[in-house]
Structure 1
Amino acid sequence: MKNNIKISKEKYKKIKEILNKNRFVKKTKSSIISLIFSRVGIYAFIICLQIFLFFYLINYISVDATVILGSSVLLSAISLLVILSMDINPYQKLSWFFLIAVIPSFGIIFFILSRIDIGKKLEESSIIDSEEETNYLHTVDDELVQTLKKEDKEFYRLVKYLNDYGSFPVFDNNEAKYYSVGDDAMPDIIEAIRSAKDFIFLEFFIINKGYMWGTILEELTKKAAQGVEVRLMYDGTNAILRLPKNFPKEMENLGIKCKVFSPIYPIISTYYNNRDHRKILVIDGKEVFTGGVNLADEYINVEERFGHWKDTFIRLRGACVQTFTIMFLQLWDADEKEDLKRYLKTYPRNGEGYVVGLGDNPIRKERFFKNVYMHILDTAKDYCYIMTPYLIIDNEMMKSLTFAAKRGIDVRMILPAIPDKKIPYYLAKSHYKKLIEAGVKIYEYSPGFIHAKTWVSDHREAVVGSVNLDFRALYLNFECGVYLHDHPVISDILDDFKVCFDISKRVSMEDVKKYPLNKKLMAILAKPFAPLM
């Protein structure tokens, strides 16, 4: 396992040499001038200009002060009543209340923009239509469901919920391979792409130019030239720092169909709140890779950013792949219609146990992953182990975690020792005291940053996916993952947790008490806005 924790200096040097020669490597922008005139600088300037204009109009229009004050109070009251009646998480309501109370003018404007949601309504309508028109394509094994009803009623109830409310069927004929680090998944990803005969679908939150993406792109280009249909979809946030504006055109020139999910424009709008955080790679409908790994060098530890980057991935072969194929095509086809049936052949494998592929969609009211997570905690009989990079949770999730520990379940959580984002790191630590007091064991991954979103419980249940324990993942993003039940691969996931416990530091109550006051204050200041982050 040590080889997975740290890449040798020799190997790292060789990789660096490849990176320096690789035409896909991003050039470093070091000067202040280049930053100012970069896309980031221009976006920041336009957004700041909009904010300035908002406040200028509010503060300098020659209107009687009492009229402004009265209007502000009236609009605040109306906004608060609207927020109170909204069907959203109570913590989000409190965040809006706090924002409007502290900064009435800006808070009201921002709330109004959130309700108008420039571009969002049309996008939501297209996605809902796409799902409603294609959900019938999911293959449901009624005989299997009836067998579960007789043999395992608790699992049957979860299966019925996921199928009835999300069209996520259960399958019992799938092979699975678990990767404890992204480094290990890379060779199999390349091999899978090389084996493609019909189509390759990629959907990723992050793509960053470098060794990993360069290597994958080279293989995708070869496949496209051979007549294999290659589709690539990525989240619009990549256009801010990672990818050039003409990246889709570059891909099209290589024979790769490319789409950007929710492109970013320099306007103030909560339209950008719902991001495509999924990680999906489908090959010919025969196999799928999913989990926490994005297409960037830190995910395979070629580039070191926050110590060793710990992430997990899983490969599935069998009928369950169909769920991820449909999930991909539903987003891809949200603004166009095509016959999807040719992509939906099933290729059963001789596998034990049960698998459910599932996704979260912020447009829908159901929060599938949150409900699955809480189901695992509420039904655990012995233990529940969790890996997550972020811990920004509501009262419901906190109650499930603490209640499980209080009734004697061995609840353990592994979080990063080295953060990638400071504010979420401080917010996570603000939960430590309550969790530890209830009996939850907190570990911090000593080698560096843990990006895995993986659960295992009682040798029977596991989840590997893209879903963090924070408001953004549980409520705002498009997410995906796989729920496993009585599957042999669960033992591999458990073994990975055991190794991580050994190399992580358990956080004690003494550690919590010694945590610096200034960082505790940062968490207190950030907490009211956590659901809006």
Structure 2
Amino acid sequence: MSNKLLLEIISVCGYLITLGLVLTALKRKREPVSALAWSLAIIFLPFIGAIAFILFGNNHIHRPLKRKKRQRRRFHTLCPTLSKSAATYPAGALSEYWSPLRELMTKLTNIPATSGNEVSLYYEGNSAYGAMYQAIDSAKKYIYLQSYIFQNDHVGKQFIERMAAKAKQGVKVRLLYDAIGSHKLRKSTLEPLIQAGGRAAPFLPINILRRRIQVNLRNHRKILVVDGKTGFIGGMNIGKEYLGEDPNLGYWRDTHLKILGPTVGNLAYVFAEDWNFASHEQIEPDEESFPDATASQGYALQIISGGPDQDVNAIREWYYTVAARARQRLWISTPYFIPDETMIDGLRMAANMGVDVRLLTQGQPPDQWLPYLAARYYWEEMLAAGVRIWRYGKGMFHAKVILADGLLASVGTANFNIRSLHLDFEVNCLIYSPVLIAELENRFLQDLADSEEVNGAIFKKRPGWIHAAENACRLFSPIL
């Protein structure tokens, strides 16, 4: 066989593979923008685009996802005790204008709003980890810890050491980590916990033989529940970088909540659903996880979960509805701003109608250049619509907070990007108490003082090569 013929065969095979991948992208991607972006990447980025689509865009885990959906349906009938928490939410605590949104979230997630909660806010790793250590050390019945990233460093080992000590005392300890986010986690790090009687499980582990090398559909949730009485939720994973000890990132700014009250049981509910799916061990939140609180004092909260196992992603519905219906102000904190077309329309409409829309995101150097440059592609359109944008300048900005009209707030794990709202499993805490929301608003304004506002006129004149880099990175928006 001549070299010329061999090259022709390889060329034809390449065209056929490209055509096949483009047809697969068009068939499997429901969002037109996602289908188009993947098609362009496959065609104009030979080999790179094809490999990226195979790894990131082509779902090989239909059966596990179907199993996750079955698990979710089972859980909707598993915990009837959730319904009594609905009675703890005081009538009239939320305006008539926003009450239907709260009811929609209950319908989509099977998790009602509850009042009578105590909340502590943490903006740095030291204080958050200190509170988490204290809660773990006080455990009497069980510890449920879930993290997207669980590092092998001294922070990860500190958590393992404390949980192992409680496991030796007979406390039920369960650790759930994401297989991709925690890919550096070693079995040797987990060994003390396992030997002490605790259990650890990865979420959707990688299995090349079964074609499970998918980096989509990851579990991005961060939850800690102790004895059904104390719960934590927010943006912090487990690692030294959250203490500001990564020299490349420096100071780490995040937002994390500690909750005492009936809402903690709903966090246990979300954890139990994920744990049962990942570990095949059935745990069910007990009656004590859902205290029959009747006090109207304290903060009104609601846990909402979002993920590809839902027919309608609850977190995405909340983000869009708040953007479209905000009447005075909409302040968004997110390290990764890569909205889909629907979210762009909602933000543009809000800004055009005179709503004070502000976006606070990470500055330079970012922790990841690809999503940072992809995000900048959307800035020009947002600035033109009247959205004001700030780049955090004190260090790494990782908080995921949305504030609307001084009446609604969301703190949790979901970024304002396509990955969080379409591909990954997330969990947020909605806040309906104006006093707590005012505290979050004050912190947002403090963060703006540590940030630099993007000047639209100057940004529009950025060098062409930067604009080209943003355009290129934007092609990967469907997975960012």
Alignment of 1:132 onto 2:73:
yes
Query: How do 1:70-149 residues align onto structure 2 when only pairs under 5 Å count?
Result: 75=20, 80=23, 83-84=25-26, 86=28, 88-102=30-44, 117-118=59-60, 120-136=61-77, 137=79, 139-141=82-84, 143=87, 147=91
> After superposition, what is the alpha-carbon deviation per residue over 1:414-454, rounded to whole angstroms, capped at 9, x for unaligned?
11122111121112222222212221111111111101101
- Structure 2 contact 206–212 (Cα < 8 Å) conserved: no
Hey, what's the Cα distance between the residues in 1 that align with 2:284 and 2:338?
Answer: 38
CA pair 74-130 structure 1, distance change in 2 beyond 3 A: closer
Structure 2: which amino acid aligns with 1:464?
V
Question: Take 1:69 and 1:388, find their aligned partners in 2: how far apart are those partners?
Answer: 40
Match of 1:260 among 189, 198, 202: 202
Amino acid at match of 1:369: I
Aligned-partner residue type, residue 506 of structure 1: E
The aligned residue for residue 158 of structure 1 is 101
Shift in alpha-carbon separation, 1:510–1:107, aligned structure 2, 3 A: closer
Distance 1:356 1:66 in 2: 56
Say which SS state the counterpart of residue 277 (structure 1) adopts: coil
Partner of 1:177: 120
Do the aligned partners of 2:160 and 2:190 also contact (CA within 8 Å) in 1? no
Instruction: Tell me what 1:194 maps to.
Output: 137
**Displacement of 1:61 after TM fit?**
7.5
Counterpart of 2:223 in structure 1: which amino acid? I
TM-score calculated relative to the size of structure 2: 0.88
- The match for 1:284 is 227
1:108-151: CA deviation from partner (whole Å, max 9, x where unpaired): 78768889844x23322332222211223151245567945x97
Higher mean C-alpha deviation, range 414-423 or range 299-308: 299-308
Encode CA deviations 1:185-229: one digit per residue, 9 max, x unaligned.
122111111211100000001111334323333321221121111
> Max radius of gyration: which structure?
1
Q: What do the CA deviations read for 1:138-187 (whole angstroms, capped 9, x no partner)?
A: 51245567945x97433331122112222121112212111122222122
Residues 110 and 374 of structure 1: CA distance in aligned 2, closer, same or farther (over 3 Å): closer
Aligned mate of 1:524, from 457, 471, 478:
471
- Indicate yes or no: 2:356 matched with 1:410: yes
Per-residue deviation at 1:514? 4.7
Give distance in 2, aligned partners of 1:151 and 1:529.
39
Structure 1 counterpart SS, 2:98: helix
Deviation at 1:236, TM superposition (A): 0.8
Matched to 2:308, the amino acid is: P
Sort the Cα spacing of 1:504 and 1:117 in 2 relative to 1 into closer, same or farther, 3 A. Answer: closer
Does the Cα contact within 8 Å between 2:88 and 2:296 map onto a contact in 1? Answer: no
> Which amino acid is 2:150 matched to?
I
Which residue in the other structure is 1:473 paired with?
420
- Counterpart of 1:336 in structure 2 is 280
Tell me: CA distance 1:237–1:70, structure 2 relative to 1, closer, same or farther (3 Å): closer
Deviates more, 1:316-325 or 1:515-524: 515-524
Question: Partner letter of residue 284 of structure 1?
Answer: D
Distance in 2 (CA, whole Å) between partners of 1:282 and 1:367 is: 24
Count, aligned residues: 469
CA apart distance, 1:357: 0.3
CA distance in 1 between partners of 2:182 and 2:283 (Å): 30
Other-structure match for 1:251: 193
How big is the shift at 1:391? 1.2
Q: 1:406 and 1:528 mapped to 2: Cα distance?
A: 27
3-state SS of paired residue (1:298): helix
Map 1:446-457; keep pairs closer than 5 Å: 446-457=393-404
What's the C-alpha RMSD, in Å, of the aligned pairs? 3.0
Secondary structure of the equivalent of 1:273? coil
Aligned twin of 1:397: 343
Letter in 1 for 2:394: P
Match of 1:224 in 2: 167
Partner of residue 435, structure 2: 488
Asked whether the equivalents of residues 285 and 343 of structure 1 are also in contact (C-alpha less than 8 Å), the reply is no
Deviations 1:343-394 (A, max 9, x none): 7532337643421101112232322222211222222222111111111112
- 1:364 matched residue in structure 2: 310
**Please, which moves more after superposition, 202-211 or 103-112?**
103-112
Partner of 1:8: none
Assess, with a 3 A threshold, how the Cα gap between structure 1 residues 357 and 60 changes in structure 2: closer, same or farther.
Answer: farther
Q: Does structure 1 retain, via aligned residues, the 8 Å contact 2:89–2:296?
A: no
CA contact (8 A) 2:133 2:162 kept: yes
- 8 Å CA contact 1:72–1:104 kept in 2: the answer is no
Once the two structures are superposed, residues 74-93 of structure 1 have per-residue CA deviations (whole angstroms, 9 ceiling, x without a partner) of 746xx53x654546222211
1:364 alignment partner AA: Q
Cα distance in 1 for partners of 2:52, 2:245 equals 40
Kindly indicate whether the alpha-carbon contact (under 8 Å) linking 2:149 and 2:182 is maintained by their aligned counterparts in 1.
no
CA distance in 2, matches of 1:483, 1:320: 11
Q: Closer, same or farther in 2 for the Cα pair 1:317/1:431, shift >3 Å?
A: same
Aligned CA distance change for structure 1 residues 487 and 84 (closer, same or farther; 3 Å): same
One-letter code aligned to 1:433: E
- The CA distance in 2 between the partners of 1:299 and 1:237, in whole Å, is 19
Deviates more, 1:395-404 or 1:266-275: 266-275
